[in-house]
Structure 1
């Protein structure tokens, strides 16, 4: 009798690639951007959070990115400036507006570190509608303002739509000296070269690139907010572990790519 053909061995899942090194500069340039924009007058506030408390909030294919066993929730207030498509010039009015986002830190099976946005409050209704309907991103329409007074910057936000209505933030910082050599944690929180999210209903990774952050130490003068809890996260405990300010950078986003599998940080 002829030998019985052997069934091919089932394919084994590939082990995840370890997270890429934390670098102050992007791993690669984006020569043909999908989106261009500048982020100006930024304040970064960060609190520690248990990875187990945020894992369920991340999109498929991503898990919490950790440093020394913990991960972070960020509250980032800034001014978006001249959002543009492809190589077209950025839009001066509709593409320029205050924004405050709540974000988490993620990594996928390719080792790509990124951020996950839980909410993005912005003051322009049309960009909010485009972000929500076109890209399924959690944009929210809010009344917002950014004011400078000497070395202090105040950001205010009050949510209009879709809700929870009245979710708010008021952040005031006093900017200080330039950070000549950021710590590993400061790089971990700010030098993120992509975002994980569900674009057009599918889990994607969207790479970005920008010059090295010009960072400044900052003193938190006031923080009255409930955006973090409105985003489904535990209320921050105590003072932020990191408060930073940056005058900003221009940024480019590349084409989205599918994340594959689940990573282990």
Structure 2
């Protein structure tokens, strides 16, 4: 399968509307069959590949400072762990992220994200501990209308901090400033996010349970490609219909 030719990210309309901080994040990426991934995507969304290779990512981290632009933080609604299952796609040649699931432990943000961003957020029981440089993480999805999903791992950063050089696999996997979603009618939306370059480090991880990709019929085998980021400040805009 040939990767689509990339196009520039079109300018967003209007100001950013949501702020957040991401902490103790680990990118865990497995190479997967591009045709298998393509079969899981809606019409108009094309799998993005690097050298013909697609990737599926599991990304555990912690959120804080989550709030609309003009409002202060709200207890429980502004800080919580999050766990993503994602792949990489293009729409009209513009690269971005496609989320299969986003698990969090707070019900109101699940409803808001599903309603206003068309993102497949799910309620889950989650536990996260960061101590002596090691993050321990566990999640059990409890959303009634979503497939089962379990994950447990411990991970830590290693080596010096770096910014991914253009053209590298690390840049391809992480430098994604667009996300895509679809509503129940299959209409596709693009959202813009804004942040400084990722402060990356290499990482080590021990994954003891991971069933997040089971519903896709994709087996995640072997040790994943691992990257770690301590903190990133992020701004997000409303999603816009892709025309």
User: Which residue does the alignment assign to 1:117?
Assistant: 99
Could you tell me whether the CA contact under 8 Å between 2:89 and 2:95 is conserved in 1?
Answer: yes
**For structure 1, which segment, 71-80 or 154-163, has the greater mean C-alpha deviation from structure 2 after superposition?**
154-163
Name the Cα RMSD after superposition.
2.5
Q: 1:162 and 2:144 equivalent?
A: yes
The secondary structure found in structure 2 opposite 1:19 is coil
The 1:187–1:27 alpha-carbon spacing in structure 2 relative to 1, beyond 3 Å, is farther
Give the 5 Å matches for 1:160-239: 160-162=142-144, 167-182=149-164, 184-199=168-183, 201=185, 202-230=187-215, 232-239=216-223
Q: Which whole-Å CA distance do the structure 1 matches of 2:145 and 2:12 have between them?
A: 37
Structure 1 spans left out of the alignment, 5+ residues: 1-16, 261-265
Aligned length, in residue pairs: 237
- Report the TM-score when normalising by structure 2: 0.87
User: Which residue does the alignment assign to 1:89?
Assistant: 72
The 1:156–1:163 alpha-carbon spacing in structure 2 relative to 1, beyond 3 Å, is farther
Which has more radius of gyration? 1
More strand by share: 2
Higher relative contact order (CA 8 A, sep 6+): 1
Note the alpha carbon deviations across 1:153-210, whole angstroms, 9 max, x for none. Answer: 1111011122557521001113211242535111111111111111585311111111
Could you tell me whether the CA contact under 8 Å between 1:106 and 1:116 is conserved in 2?
Answer: yes
- Report the TM-score when normalising by structure 1: 0.80
Q: Which whole-Å CA distance do the structure 2 matches of 1:69 and 1:222 have between them?
A: 27
